[in-house]
Structure 1
Amino acid sequence: MADDQSKKRTTVTIYGQQYTIVGDEQPSHINQVANYLDKRMKEYKAYNPYLDTTRLAVLTALNVVDDYIKLKEEVNKDKDSEG
């Protein structure tokens, strides 16, 4: 239980809903992540206005993870070419 008490609580708003995030990260980092997600959800909603929130969240997650994997592969490719 002592570990739970040392964790930071940060309240963020993503797509109009408030969430309390509990973890070790700094509130500034959590806010940056939440703001990025909120922005991306709003971008995808503009292109797909008929998506419900659940489908919008899944579409956004798929695209963000796709970006992450591509970036990770690029970084690994760059590391391999250096060595």
Structure 2
Amino acid sequence: MNTITVKINGLEYNLKGEECQEYLQKVATYVDNKMQDLMDNNEKLSVSAAAVLTALNSVDEMFKIEGIYKELLQKTKDIEKNEELLKDQIQYLKKQITHLERV
């Protein structure tokens, strides 16, 4: 278990996780940058509101990426299925050629 102290919006947090410290820092930096962007664009936004909006925006991004991932996974499966069909057709054509050569 890795433990790292990170700063988000000027406050320190202790993160613990199975991931390496570099990854945990990357996650914290991402959250900090998103919060800062929101707060820079709306000076009246409270820290808690910025945190909630950061969470909502991050989950929105995650859901969109998950959708793209599922589409790519389906396309990969379709390509693999087509590859198998083409292999079967090649085998069939090779047999036809062999048969025609014998005639």
TM-score, normalised with respect to structure 2: 0.72
- Residue 37 of structure 1 corresponds to 31
Per-residue Cα deviation, 1:3-47 (whole angstroms, up to 9, x for no partner): xxxx21100000100000112111100000001110110111112
Q: Which has the higher helix share?
A: 2
- Number of residue pairs aligned between Structure 1 and Structure 2: 77
* 1:82 Cα offset (Å): 2.2
- Residue 51 of structure 2 corresponds to 57
Extract unaligned runs of 5+ from structure 1.
1-6
Greater Rg over alpha carbons, structure: 2
Native 8 Å contact 2:17 2:24 kept in 1: no
Partner AA of 1:36 in structure 2: Y
- Aligned residue among 40, 43, 53 for 1:46: 40
Extract unaligned runs of 5+ from structure 2.
78-103
* Percent identical: 31
- Aligned residue among 62, 66, 85 for 1:68: 62
Higher relative contact order (CA 8 A, sep 6+): 1
The whole-number CA distance in structure 2 between the counterparts of 1:43 and 1:23 is: 26
The whole-number CA distance in structure 1 between the counterparts of 2:73 and 2:59 is: 21
SS in structure 1 of the partner of residue 23 of structure 2: helix
Q: Does 1:9 align with 2:3?
A: yes
Runs of at least 4 residues off by over 3 Å: none
* 1:58 Cα offset (Å): 0.2
